[in-house]
Amino acid sequence: MNVILMGPPGAGKGTQAEFIKTAFPIPHISTGDMFRVAVAEGTPMGIKAKEFMDAGKLVPDEVTIGVVKERLAKDDCAQGFLLDGFPRTVPQAEALDEVLGAMGRQVDAVVDIQVPASILLERMTGRVTCKACKTVYHLKFSPPAQAGVCDHCQGELVQRSDDNEIAVVENRLKVYEEQTAILADYYKNQGCLVAVDGNRDTKEVFADIKAALEKI
Ligand code: ADP
Ligand code: AMP
């Protein structure tokens, strides 16, 4: 089951990926998470990615495609994967088709989580993540029981550096409209696009996604 989660920043891709993982045994591959790990570790790739992430821009295709190719070649992807935040450009989508084609595989479903732009800004600026287990909370929509502390592992909750500056958040939304939204047509033409209304309770959103993935 080769699945892509698509949608603007703040749409709820990471949140839904957590639900999907409990129902379908496929690895969750978030390019944003991979880049954040590389930044924290200070690897050469992380140092390069950081300048783009801090500005709310896309990391160049050649870097991103290389990272994903390497990840998809790992054993745990043999039965499928859940890509989150990739592809984000047409060249990335084409590269993915090429890699999968060489393995005799294809994209089975692209879940496009749709949320009005007016909601996204508040979703991103209120997002906090557990430093240890990476659980995502929202200060208003899904707050932790105790401020600043993860409900699951008591880890520290932190705000992403690219979520705390309005200009960067706005740029990420603009970049999505300019470079990524077009991929909905790309996958519609391939007959695998599933549009889901993401402006509802997380459990309702997941119910629709689960029903769509069960049909694959
Ligand atoms: P993405 O991975 O698409 O950038 P996230 O899953 O991190 O988005 O969600 C962004 C923020 O919105 C988080 O703070 C999350 O808790 C919150 N959120 C996600 N889905 C919903 C929803 N359906 N309703 C309200 N808030 C949500
Ligand atoms: P995300 O966690 O998906 O919101 O991604 C955070 C940041 O990582 C983005 O704003 C980009 O700078 C970078 N990034 C993540 N995925 C990609 C991708 N597929 N292509 C280019 N840059 C990416």
Q: 155 C-alpha to center of ligand 1: Å? A: 19
Report the percentage of the chain scoring pLDDT > 90.
Answer: 100
CA angle 26, 29, 31 (to 5 degrees): 170
- Encode pLDDT of 57-68 as tens digits: 999 999 999 999
Atom of ligand 2 lying closest to residue 57 CA: 12
pLDDT at site 165: 96
pLDDT at site 100: 98
pLDDT at site 122: 97
Report the percentage of the chain scoring pLDDT > 70.
Answer: 100
b/e burial code for range 188-205 (CB count within 10 A of at least 16 → b): eeeebbbbbebbeebeeb
- Encode pLDDT of 110-152 as tens digits: 999 999 999 999 999 999 999 999 999 999 999 999 999 999 9
Counting as low any pLDDT under 70, the low residues of the chain are: none
Cα torsion at 91, 49, 9, 94 (round to 10°)? 10
pLDDT at site 123: 98
Nearest ligand to the CA of 173 is 2
Point out which residues pair with 4 in neighbouring strands: 83, 110
pTM of the model: 0.98
